[in-house]
Amino acid sequence: MNLNQTQVDELYGIAVKLDASLRIDYSGRGMFGGKCIGFVTNNPARFAIKLVREMLTYDFKDDPSIAYILDKMELVQTDGMGNGSILYFPHLRADLGVKHPEQE
């Protein structure tokens, strides 16, 4: 699923709230240069629990794509990054032209 700027901005807000960093250009193992969404954190298990809690507060009637995003989050992968870890979602990508909120 490709995420639009509004959805990426929303994920950025969640990352900040949960003391993580958002990546919109991560290329994990077996992705052959493809880019996806990921969250960099020092404690991936704690972050994952907080992320699920946060996502459960959303009203799916307002944005049905959130349900689809949650479904794709089951396919989460992790990598070590030297100082911290990244939880990344190979099936969630930013649309072409979407900018990281810190670059807007």
pLDDT digits (tens, 9 = 90+) for 56-79: 787 666 666 666 776 777 788 889
Tell me the one-letter amino acid at 74.
Answer: E
Q: Cβ of 46: how many Cβ atoms within 10 Å?
A: 12
Whole-angstrom Cα distance, residue 3 to residue 7? 6
**With a cut of 70, which residues of the chain have pLDDT below it?**
59-67, 70, 104
Residue 91, amino acid: H
- d(CA 20, CA 63) in angstroms, rounded, equals 23
- Euclidean distance between the first and the last CA atom of the chain, given in angstroms as a whole number: 22
The predicted structure's pLDDT at residue 60: 64
Q: Which residue has the tokens 């969404």?
A: 37
Residue 8 one-letter amino acid: V
